[in-house]
Amino acid sequence: MCGIAGRVNYLSRRPVDAAVVRRMCDLIAHRGPDGWDVRVDGWVGLGHRRLSIIDLSAAGTQPMSTADGRVWITFNGEIYNFLELRRQLEQEGHRFRSATDTEVILAAYRQYGLECLSRLRGMFAFAIWDQTRERLFLARDRVGKKPLQYLLDRDGIAFASEPKAFLADPAWVPEPDPQGIADYIALQYVPAPESAFKGVRKLPPGHFLLVENGQIRIERYWRLKYSDKVRMTEADAAAELRRRLSDAVRMRLISDVPLGAFLSGGIDSGAVVALMAEHASGPVKTFSIGFEQKEYDELPAARLVARKYSTDHHEFVVRPDALSLLPSLVWHYNEPYADSSAIPTFVLSELTRRYVTVALNGDGGDENFAGYDRYYANVLGQHFDRIPRPVRRLMANAAAMAPSNGNRRGLVSRGRRFLQAGAEGREERYIRWVSHFPHGLREEICTPDFLAQVPRDPDRVLLDAYRSSDAADIVDATLDVDVTTYLAGDLLVKVDIATMAHGLEGRSPLLDHEVMEFAARLPSDLKLRRNVKKYILRTAVASLLPAEILDRPKMGFGVPIDAWFRCELKEFVQDIVSSAKFRQRGIMRPAVVEQLFKDHVSGEASWHYQLWNVVMLEMWFRAFIDTRPTSKADVASSLGGLVAA
């Protein structure tokens, strides 16, 4: 697990400045604290920051080349089937100088060309420079566990694991991209291929980018298929799923450094820990995080699994002083990012890194097996659609005017949101359910001048994802949308940034592409059985987990910012929304934002998600647009005393 960067001046053929590539690597040094190297040859430059996981020797140093020096690679990730692939390549006549998966990718590219991607099982983002063909080959793993950004200019292309690396080039002036900002306001993250920075693009998951003969080509090489369903009994499906999960966990235990697992109180991480215990030779190291607010605290549930498997268990508690993390969050997340669970994830990663270098997690269970309320809500919505739309609109209006108890997780709040979305079509209902600022509220809070600069309605991201899916029913279609948007753009970004900020590698067995492909082919009623979410996953792992874990309602990985904003952090938010800088942005109407804040503090409504969205956007502007940071200390300084350094 590492950080990669580089530049290929294929248009101008101007020599690459090695010092610039070195500074690009320095700006993402946290991703690879164990070493670095840069390789520059004329108009091509590749850089690398190394986090040593497999083959800790100097033989694993990158950028790495083939024996003849004609093909070079800089690679971030882990290929879990590299030993099997290596044996196949050796039978084809390839010889290896190291024990790394990096060299296996090089040989696979030599043997199979672009088709090598179909043979890689793992997480990856890499750049291969093929000197003979004068070809740059950028690729990203199937679901987007590892990031890859690129920047096109008059010389050619620059690329990096994080966009802050582009600050190394004095010719690049960071500017906000209106489309990226609008998408963020709606969704709480900036979805690929957009970026918050003008001119910067994200290579989408499951895609590769090829620069050859002066042309750029971007292609999708993988996506889930939901239409070709398996034919097997429920018992056989559960047994096959259990086997695939066990295999995925086993493969992710390969490491030359200490390894453990994140453990929440849910089914997904609990199942991962249980399967780790089956394969491990000693006690599994587990790490959990909780809160003083009981309704958000999963530590008691996590202890049940830890005790069952006698793990070496560690617990941490997040308190409101986590706000002091904000300079770190703004610096490391690069773009505005409003998923508040980044706070506990960041803290958990920092503390876990004190004990291990690799941590498995349960990410992907909800998006594979229908674990969110919105899947069941969409099924109910199909029955709700039988009510005439005018009546549904009256119900939506009545729900909007009803008083809120301020608890978004509560039954009353969920009922209000369901009724408000009831007048919409099925895709629009989902959009309203997941958007921070859905259509209508977005137009109310954003200025007309800003909206006039946005070429595409942010809702198109989700609508297009629905319309490109091959799924036959609303459950599978919504799972597909979540995998391609929310999972890739929010959850995987959160974990990658939080872990790599501390030199910790995160591994996600439930996001193994063979597990995901099997899950996609299962009938949707095995994922959502009436109102039982993740039905087949529960069945597959039932014997592994305490009954209390299987039966408890889903909590998610939220933080109590609703209460924090009314108490400990009230003055902080007030300072942001009333500041001259915020008022002068021209993006949001200050009066509307201040009213949201007043309504939240008074308890008349619950706007903490929206306010966090506003706060993180303003802090990003101050850190990356108002100034040109070169370190976390620069970000703390640019925030002008709003938070502790």
Encoded tokens for 202: 């994200």
381 CB neighbour count, 10 Å cutoff: 21
Is the distance from CB of 179 to CB of 455 less than 8 angstroms? yes
Which structure tokens are listed for 149?
């950004």
Statement: residue 501 has pLDDT above 50 = yes
Most confident of the ranges 51-60, 122-131, 597-606:
122-131
Can you tell me which residue has the tokens 């008022």? 583
Which string of DSSP letters, residue by residue, matches 64-131? EE-TTSSEEEEEEEEETTHHHHHHHHHHTT---SSS-HHHHHHHHHHHHGGGGGGG--EEEEEEEEET
CA 513 – CA 225 distance, rounded (Å): 12
Q: What is the mean pLDDT of residues 428-432?
A: 86
For 246-258, write each residue's pLDDT tens digit: 999 999 998 878 8
pLDDT for residue 418: 59
Model-level pTM?
Answer: 0.93
**What pLDDT score does 257 carry?**
83
Residues involved in catalysis: 2
Residue 304 CB burial class (10 angstroms; 0-12, 13-18, ≥19): middle
Is the confidence at residue 412, as pLDDT, over 80? no
Local confidence band at 318 (pLDDT 50, 70, 90 cut-offs): confident
Q: What percent of the chain has pLDDT over 70?
A: 90
Question: What percent of the chain has a predicted confidence (pLDDT) above 90?
Answer: 76
Question: Looking at the predicted structure, is the pLDDT value of residue 141 above 80?
Answer: yes
Confidence (pLDDT) at 610: 95
CB atoms within 10 A of CB 602: 10
Q: What average pLDDT does the segment 460-487 reach?
A: 96
pLDDT for the residue 342: 93
Q: Report pLDDT for 557.
A: 64
d(CA 9, CA 15): 7
Chain segment 577-617, per-residue pLDDT in tens: 999 999 999 999 999 999 999 999 999 889 999 999 999 99
Taking only the tens place, the pLDDT of each residue in 503-528 is 999 999 999 999 999 999 999 999 99
Do 429 and 462 touch, CB atoms closer than 8 A? no
Instruction: State yes or no: pLDDT of 364 exceeds 50.
Output: yes
pLDDT of residue 398: 64
**CA dist 439 to 194, 394, 395, Å?**
20, 18, 18
DSSP state of 17: -
* pLDDT value of position 645: 38
> If you ran DSSP here, which 8-state letter would residue 348 be given?
H
DSSP output for 29-72? GGG-BTEEEEEEETTEEEEEEE---S--SGGG-SSEE-TTSSEE
Q: What angle do CA 68, 69, 73 make, to 5 degrees?
A: 125
Q: Given this model, what pLDDT does residue 356 score?
A: 95
**Reported confidence tier of residue 21, pLDDT bands at 50, 70, 90:** very high
Residues 6+ apart with CB under 8 A from 36: 22, 25, 29, 47, 48, 49, 50
Segment among 312-316, 339-343, 383-387 with least mean pLDDT: 383-387
The whole-angstrom separation of Cα 163 and Cα 28 is: 9
Q: Look at residue 417 in the predicted model and tell me its pLDDT.
A: 60
Tens-place pLDDT, residues 549-572: 998 877 666 677 888 889 888 998
pLDDT value of position 407: 46
pLDDT at 422 over 90: no
pLDDT in tens, 196-252: 999 999 999 999 999 999 999 999 999 999 999 999 999 999 999 999 999 999 999
User: Phi-psi bin for 603: left (phi > 0), alpha (psi -120 to 50), beta?
Assistant: left
Look at residue 281 and tell me whether its pLDDT is greater than 90: no
Beta bridge partners of 114: none
Residue 597 identity (one-letter amino acid): F
- Cis peptide bond upstream of 63, omega within 30: yes
Task: Tell me the mean pLDDT in the region 416-430.
Answer: 69
Rounded to the nearest integer, the mean pLDDT of the chain is 91
The per-residue b/e assignment along 232-261, b for 16 or more CB within 10 angstroms, e otherwise, is eeeeebbebbbebbbbbbbbbbbeeeebbb
Residue 313 is encoded by which pair of tokens? 């268990």
User: Who's near 81: CB < 8 A, 6+ residues apart?
Assistant: 119, 120, 121, 122, 251
Average pLDDT over residues 388-414: 57
Lowest-pLDDT range, 382-391, 573-582, 612-621, 631-640?
382-391
* Backbone φ and ψ of 589, nearest 5°: -80, 115
In this structure, what are the phi and psi dihedrals at residue 174, rounded to the nearest 5 degrees?
-65, 125
Which residues, at least 6 apart from 551, have a Cβ–Cβ distance to it below 8 Å?
Answer: none
d(CA 363, CA 563): 27
Top mean pLDDT of 35-49, 385-399, 416-430, 558-572 is at: 35-49
